[in-house]
Chain A
Amino acid sequence: MIGMSTRHILLGLLASGPSHGYDLKRRHDERFPQARPLAYGQVYTTLQRLVRDGLAEIEGTDSDGGPERTVYRTTETGSRELAHWAAEIAPPAPFVTNEIFAKVVVAILSGGDPAAYLRAQRAAHMRRMRELTAVKSAPGADLATVLSADFALNHLDADLRWMTTTAARLTTLTAEVDAA
């Protein structure tokens, strides 16, 4: 997703109070269900960069009976940066980078079967939509789960609709691409 950065999300999680890396990862995965889970290593690399840039600092260590962990907290600059990022609008699709469309055009150029590709892609999309629907309509699903599944479902639905209209117009598209 454009503009989506792990830096800002970690800063956002730190805004509610100092925290260590493992806890941040756990809270991220809880707060953003259905998102790609954060890798543990990625969390630590990002935290170190935040410290380097002066957006976060080390508060101390916390052992809590187990292994020793570094606890981080946000700085004044970090809070300002976070507020700035949260209020900034995400640019609405500045570049149309559509992998599906690219594959269709490539299939036409290389004499492949774009229709077969679209059929397979559509089936895959439908399967994913069924999975997400099952997740969100499971009894006891919380609102965060429902909303994030809905976000993905609506995007997949948009892709599907685009694929359906494209499939119906492949003949014209093929003629256009071949002529160029």
Chain B
Amino acid sequence: MNNAATPGPLLAARDLVKAHGRTPALRGASLDLRAGEILAVTGASGSGKSTLLHCMAGIVRPDRGSVTYGGQRLDRLPEKRLSELRRTDFGVVFQFGQLIPELTALDNVALPLLLAGTPRSRARERAGEWLERFGARGQEELRPGEMSGGQAQRTALARALVTGPKVVFADEPTGALDSLAGEQVMTALAHTARESGTAVLLITHDARTAAYADREASLHDGTVVTEDTVLEVTP
């Protein structure tokens, strides 16, 4: 596949195997994420989409197989280095629940910067700029419990992108939203990612969300099937 003209993938998963207890989630899944691309991973519930994202983001260690990012084997890095990587190079957005309920929108977005040692006032200033980019102006002092689903997801996106990551992992970012709010969140994500050259690994079961991506890979029973062989029939 790789010829001299195309650079190697930014993040590469090879033959990942992972089981939750006795339930297999991944059975030899391989996937490449190229720098700056938006890649949608689709598949039915239970096909292993979230587990694949967790493995590729270094949140979960696969039982077998490898995850390579920037020449490093993520599956072999110590937890401390992985945390650091998730803070500096990766941004993560889930369906919900990633905001700290007691912190305001502004402080939630500023948190990754504070963790990196940025002074509070500078961190809040940058967080404010990012909230504004995601159209969340005027909700800086709201806490997650006081936000609508769309507002919370835009805050989460701002938090995922505030450190200027190379990869954003989004697991059903529109799953809890109505179609209009979901559209606004996806438009904001796609725009910002293209503008800043951030690669996005987008997990979704919704074709309209997947259509924001440049490319689509489908999971079926724990393995990645390419776009052409998506509709594998179960015997």
Question: Digit string of A131-163 for contact with B (CB within 8 Å is 1, else 0)?
Answer: 011000101000000000000011011001101
In the complex, what residues of B have CB within 8 A of residue A161's CB?
207
Contact A171 B235 (CB under 8 A): yes
Asked whether A7 is an interface residue with its Cβ less than 8 Å from the other chain, the reply is: no
User: Which of A16-24, A36-44, A87-95, A117-125 faces chain B?
Assistant: A117-125
Task: Check B211–A153 contact: CB distance below 8 A.
Answer: yes
Q: Judge whether B231 and A137 touch: CB under 8 Å.
A: no
The smallest C-beta distance from A162 to any residue of chain B, in angstroms, reads 11
Establish whether residues B228 and A123, one from each chain, have CB atoms under 8 Å apart when the complex forms. Answer: yes
Q: Indicate whether B233 reaches chain A with its CB closer than 8 angstroms.
A: yes
Complex-state Cα separation, A104 to B216, whole angstroms:
24
- Complex partner residue of A164 from B208, B231, B234, CB under 8 angstroms: B231
The answer to whether residues A137 and B187 also contact, given A126-B207, A130-B213, A157-B208 and a CB cut-off of 8 A, is yes
For the complex, what is the distance from the CA of A126 to the CA of B230, rounded to whole Å? 11
Beyond A130-B213, A132-B211, whether A167 also contacts B231 by CB under 8 A is yes
Q: Which of A126, A153, A156, A168 contacts B233 (CB 8 A)?
A: A168
Asked whether A129 lies within 8 Å of B207 as measured between CB atoms, the reply is yes
| A13 contacts the other chain (CB 8 A) | no
Report which residue of B187, B190, B214 has the largest number of chain A beta carbons within 10 angstroms of its beta carbon: B187
Q: A129's contact among B186, B190, B208, B229, by CB below 8 Å, is which?
A: B208
How many chain A residues touch B (CB < 8 A): the figure is 25
Partner of A115, one of B190, B227, B233: B233
Contact of A51 with B by CB under 8 A: no
Q: Which residues of A contact B67 (CB under 8 A)?
A: none
The answer for the CA separation of A163 and B231 in the assembled complex, in Å, is 9
Main SS of the interface on chain A? Answer: helix
Inter-chain contacts of B106 with A (CB < 8 A): none
> B190 to A137, Cβ gap below 8 A?
yes
Q: Is the pair B187, A126 in contact by a Cβ cutoff of 8 Å?
A: no
CA distance A119 to B190 in the complex (A): 26
> In the complex, what residue of chain A is closest to B180 when comparing beta carbons?
A150
Name the contact of B228 in the complex, choosing from A119, A133, A163, A170 (C-beta under 8 A). A119
Pair B227/A123 contact, Cβ less than 8 Å: yes
A171 touches B233 (CB 8 A): yes
| CB nearest neighbor in B for A120 | B228
Judge if B69 is at the interface, Cβ distance under 8 Å.
no
Known: A115-B231, A130-B214. 18 other contacts (CB 8 A): A119-B229, A119-B230, A122-B231, A123-B230, A126-B216, A126-B227, A129-B207, A130-B211, A130-B213, A133-B208, A133-B211, A137-B212, A156-B207, A163-B231, A164-B231, A167-B231, A167-B233, A171-B233
Q: Which residues of B contact A (CB under 8 A)?
A: 186-187, 190-191, 206-208, 210-214, 216, 227-231, 233-235
Interface residues of A (CB under 8 A from B): 115, 118-120, 122-123, 126, 129-130, 132-133, 137, 139, 153-154, 156-157, 160-161, 163-164, 167-168, 170-171
The list of the 9 closest CB pairs from A to B, nearest first, reads A167-B231, A129-B211, A133-B211, A137-B187, A160-B207, A119-B231, A157-B207, A130-B211, A118-B231
